[in-house]
Amino acid sequence: MLAKRDLGSRVVVRRRVGSRFTDLLGELTELSETHLTVATIRGKIRVPLDEVHRSKRVPDPAGLERAAAEAMPAPTVKRLGEWQLRAAEGFTGRANSVLPLGDPGLPFAEAMDEVIDFYQSQGLPPQVDVPLPLGRPVARALESLGWVPMVTVLVQVIDLPELIAATPPGSAFIIAAEPSEQMLSMIKGRRGGLPASAAHVLTAVPSVAFAGYQEKDVLLAMARGTVTRRWLGLTFVETAPEGRRRGLAREAIGAIARWAEPEGATRAFLQVQDDNSAALALYDSLGFQAHHRYTRYTRFG
């Protein structure tokens, strides 16, 4: 639970109202014997302590964003000051966008000209993933230049021991260092194709694993895990239509979580679009909490 020393820190508070839970993410601005106050993106919210299910400080968003970038490595990366301009023939949004952490080393408008030129040279639309609230000045500057938001993605986190306790062991899942052909087909089916760069994005991480479950030689569920900066990154949690409503996604996550523990992971994260209600319900039931979000901006014309 939070203490006075946490005032001014970024925190997450899980609030129980009746039978429902909600997460508040923001700066802890007040803590008394009866209530606490969190400054969120929607304003300051006061919560009675008897409604607090659990609460804690959250890790640095910039550090987590760097761990996430290392978990989905693009084969082509151009440095623009401290920014990363990433390209992978369009395979995944994360590996084909700018990560604008720190100073680009140029006036903002000039930096964006460099971004546009880079993505034109790659045959890709220019995209910038802006972590919020950390990157709010970048978001405002982009909007002033006519860039528009495309999607918003929630970054959710959990301590690894909690995730292991919340999931079945997934003992029927096979763990491998490389994706099988059926796994690649499952990923391809969701994304409409796999360019040559996909192999780099999927496997060019020192600590990576793929969990798969088959029945009668048919892949029914899979998940990919990476360990970067002691973070387990969960990606490509997929279930075939004939394997749904059987708890296989939970088992896949459980199998990867148990693989990650001896790899040195202490916490886990995943990224999910804010309109994916089914996935959000699953991750909420496992105990994941909001850490921050990012909005992907693009430029038309």
Predicted pLDDT of residue 301: 59
Predicted pLDDT of residue 9: 85
Identify the structural domains of the chain with CATH numbers, from first to last: 4-57 (2.30.30.520), 61-152 (no CATH), 157-291 (3.40.630.30)
Predicted pLDDT of residue 20: 85
Residues of the chain with pLDDT under 50: none
pTM (predicted TM-score):
0.86
* Each residue's pLDDT tens digit, 77-87: 999 999 999 99
Predicted pLDDT of residue 58: 82
Predicted pLDDT of residue 191: 72
Q: How far is CA 14 from the centre of its chain?
A: 19
With contact defined as beta carbons under 8 Å apart, do 81 and 105 qualify?
yes
Q: What b/e readout covers 105-140, taking b as 16+ CB neighbours within 10 angstroms?
A: eeeeeebbebbeebbeebebebbbbbbbbbbeebbe
